[in-house]
Amino acid sequence: MADIISLLPDHVANQIAAGEVIQRPASVVKELLENAIDAKASVVQLFISGAGKTTIQVIDNGIGMSPTDVRLSFERHATSKIKSADDLFSITSKGFRGEALASVAAIAQVEVHTKRAEDEMATSIKISGSKVEDQKVSVAPTGTSIAVKNLFYNVPARRNFLKSDKVELRHIIDEFQRVALTHPETKFTFLQNGSELFNLPAVNFRKRIANTFGNKFEEKLIPVEEMTTFAGIEGFVVKPEFAKKSRGQQFFFVNKRFIRSPFLNHAVTAAFQGLLRDQYHPGYFIYIQVDPKSIDINIHPTKTEIKFEDEQNLYAIIKSMIKHSLGMFQAAPVLDFGRDPSLDTPYDLQQNPISNMPSIEVNSSFNPFQNSEIAISESSKKNWESLYSGLEIPTEYPNSEEELKLSIDQAPKVFQLLRKFIVTSTRSGLLVIDQKRAHQRVLYEKFLSSITKRDMVSQQLIFPEEIELTQQQIALFGELEENLNTMGFVVKQRENHLHITGIPSICSDKQLGQLFEDIFSPAEHEKVTSFSQADYMAKILSKSLSIKGNLSLSVVEQQALVDDLFACKDTLTCPFNRKIFITLDKEELENKLD
């Protein structure tokens, strides 16, 4: 039999390697930005179109490349940053594996213009699918411009795996922020489809954080610092009362490199223990300097995970450093006077649900004052009917209008179980309803229909609310504005603020802060998949405004919720595709009791 092993051609090897380094447009952004930093640029510009699927371009004013170097830079294992394996332990550059450009060129169409200060003319080169298509002398300023077009154009399977533009853009913003936060001494700009998302001048760490997350952010930071023989640590934590439900403000940088470390994250969380509400995560920006010999960066192709020589020690230092700073901050309550009392309100409500239960917490049609007479609407009746048919219990299916009416009239018996479920009886047995999911369904359909019918009633706020936005939140607001208006919000953007004067009548002003946080939260975006923006908005609002699973409801509210649920178009699943209720029919009960 003939030999069967052959070496893969370079372009195939490159494409395979690309799978590790380049997962999505954001990976390209990261590699190009890091190359610009390594090239000692003081100004770096990022341009994106089509969420990076169409074009990603990075222009820097760094050292540029010679004509031979440009050509070489696209070969695999071609790097100017290390010469031997020993160098791996004294790395000060971002890159060193020499894989990024080769990988990108294997799966996209790449165009480079580059010039060194000492050269008169620039070099331009075009490569696609690892093939050099054109190289020529050209005119360009000192530095490098790399444009990456039609990512994965020749790997349709990978292209199909990309998420929606919104999600891909979110990833790009994340990578951009990580690089920008690591290098405050470099000026960065970021334009997406021609509009500016970030314009970050060269400043210090603290100002860079503020410029990235909104100028008021500076007041939310507490400095932390610790110098030991083995590590130098400095940075900031976010004051506990400004903690977020998302993890979007958690940054560790080791020797000027963003890293992920669940272990060190745990150290921070431990230091915050007792200071955060349930499900809230601490925010932090921690810069760690250690001897490059004491870490291994080369354990992961994207270099976001590293190995420390003495992780335990670092854990202890970080935890005590943060505890110390938080302690100092709390020992000086005068710093706390600016605290916004409304931030605490939702928490109080949850703690003390029965007597304080405001009618606005729930939707208007199950406001106890409006529903003192329990009425079952025509549409509710229909859905009781469809409920039965949906569950296919033919023997119990009511035979006539009278019988249906009878079955409902006899069934307004509801009670709440474990502050989470509403139990009600049907003619055939029991129905156990998840109250939160039911409410989400009701709210979701209300909001969705308000968008199509434009009939949402809005209530004016006595005290208009101001919400500060970051640049990318402003961009997102631009997209959502129209739907927010049809849903009953009266919102205007003023520079970097939202000015809110009206809200849908089924929402309370106390819920507003949380609601807008959810609308703009990247974590929510990841979780909520949608086929349209209206659907997305209705989902986010229903999730944010729904009663939670630990709220006592009065009998009237319970009944109203059940009625509202069965007036919905879909009564079986919540907007996030989870079952709303289960049934236990006579037969099952009898079987169980057998």
CA 253 to the chain's CA centroid? 20
CB within 8 Å of 127: residues ≥ 6 apart: 74, 105, 109, 110, 112, 133
Q: Does 184 bind ligand ADP (CB under 6 A)?
A: no
Nearest distance from residue 444's CB to ligand ADP, in Å?
46
From candidates 19, 42, 49, 78, binder to ligand ADP by CB under 6 A:
78
DSSP assignment string, 275-295: SS-TT-B--EEEEEEE-GGGE
CA distance 241 to 345: 12
- Residues 48/168, Cβ–Cβ less than 8 Å: no
CA distance 246 to 543: 15
Q: Does 100 bind Mg ion (CB under 5 A)?
A: yes
79-118 positions binding ligand ADP, by CB under 6 A: 79-81, 95-102
Q: Does 221 bind ligand ADP (CB under 6 A)?
A: no
User: Among 12-20, 58-66, 258-266, 457-465, which window interacts with ligand ADP (CB under 6 A)?
Assistant: 58-66
CB within 8 Å of 216: residues ≥ 6 apart: 468
CA distance 593 to 20: 57
Spatial CA neighbour of 386 closest among 572, 581, 578, 561: 572
Which of ligand ADP, Mg ion, none has residue 575 at its interface (CB below 5 to 8 Å by kind)?
none
Q: Which residue in the block uniquely carries the two structure tokens 């010999």? A: 293
Which of Mg ion, ligand ADP, none has residue 52 at its interface (CB below 5 to 8 Å by kind)?
none
CA distance 350 to 257: 40
Helix (H, G, I), strand (E, B), or coil: what is residue 403?
helix
| C-alpha distances in Å from residue 550, one per residue of 416, 418, 419, 544, 564 | 11, 8, 5, 15, 20
Which of Mg ion, ligand ADP, none has residue 144 at its interface (CB below 5 to 8 Å by kind)?
ligand ADP
Nearest distance from residue 503's CB to ligand ADP, in Å?
48
Q: Which letter does DSSP use for residue 432 in this model?
A: E
Whose Cβ is closer to ligand ADP: residue 48's or residue 474's? 48
Whose Cβ is closer to ligand ADP: residue 70's or residue 491's? 70
Which of ligand ADP, Mg ion, none has residue 78 at its interface (CB below 5 to 8 Å by kind)?
ligand ADP
Whose Cβ is closer to Mg ion: residue 107's or residue 222's? 107
Binding mask 33-62 for Mg ion (x = CB under 5 A): --x---------------------------
Whose Cβ is closer to ligand ADP: residue 96's or residue 516's? 96
Q: Does 95 bind Mg ion (CB under 5 A)?
A: yes
Q: Does 63 bind ligand ADP (CB under 6 A)?
A: yes
Query: How many residues contact ligand ADP, by CB under 6 A?
Result: 24
Whose Cβ is closer to Mg ion: residue 27's or residue 542's? 27
Q: Which residues bind ligand ADP (CB under 6 A)?
A: 31, 35-36, 38-39, 60, 62-65, 73, 78-81, 95-102, 144
